[in-house]
Amino acid sequence: MNPEAIRHLDRDPVLRRLVERHGPIGLRPRRFSTFRSLTEAIVRQQLSQQAAAVILGRFRSLYPGKSFPTVGEVLATPPEHLRKAGLSRAKASYLLDLAARVRQRRVPGLRACERLTDEELIARLTAVKGIGRWTAEMLLIFNLGRPDVLPVDDLGVRRGFQRAHERDELPAPAELAHHGQRWAPYRTAAALYLWKAAEPEPEGWADP
C-alpha cells in the first residue's frame, strides 16, 4: 500500500487503530477487460463468494478451452444455456445486454477508462442494464486500482465503520460519505481497512 496513504489515514485515530491492527493491506489491480470485469461483477451480485464461484465456474464451462469467453461467444449463447449455468433470468439478460453494448463500443475499454474520471466512468457504466453504482465502484477499485473510491452503499464497508466506531447501528450512506471526505484522496485505502474491520476476528484478538 502507498506509504503516503498510510500516513494520511493515520490522522484519523480510528483508522490509525485499524492500520496498527491489520498492517499494510495490498491491492493489485486485476486489469481484466472491462467486459470480463463487469461480467464477473454481475454474476456476483447478491451472492456469497462461494455461490458466485460455483456459478462463474459453470459459466466458463460453457466455453471449453477458454479462460474467459469473448463478447461474440456470449452473444451467441442462448439465454436458456446461461440459465442452466445458474444465472437468473435477469442476470442472463444483463450479460447479453452488456456484450451487445461492448460490441457497439458503448462501454469503455481499459485504455478509454484511463481517460475518464471516476464519476465520468461511473456515469458511463451505470447506463448499462444491471450495472449500478456499487458494481461500477468495484470495477474502479479492484480492476483499475483507483485510489479514491469509497463505496458507501456497501454493507461490509458500513459494518466495518460501525464496528470500528463501536456503534450500535450502521451509518447511513450519506453520513459515511460525509465522514469519508477526511480520507480523500485515499478513500480506497480506507475502504479496504473498513472491509477488514467487518471480518470476524480470530479468537483472542478482541481488545482487552
**Active-site residue list:** 154
Q: What is the CA radius of gyration of the chain?
A: 19
Q: Residue 55 has which C-alpha cell?
A: 456459478
- Distance of alpha carbon 121 from its chain centroid, rounded? 14
Residues 6+ apart with CB under 8 A from 206: none
Residues 6+ apart with CB under 8 A from 115: none
Burial of 145 (0-12, 13-18, 19+ CB in 10 A): middle
What distance in Å separates the CA atoms of residue 69 and residue 140, rounded to the nearest whole number? Answer: 22
Q: Residue 138 has which C-alpha cell?
A: 468495484
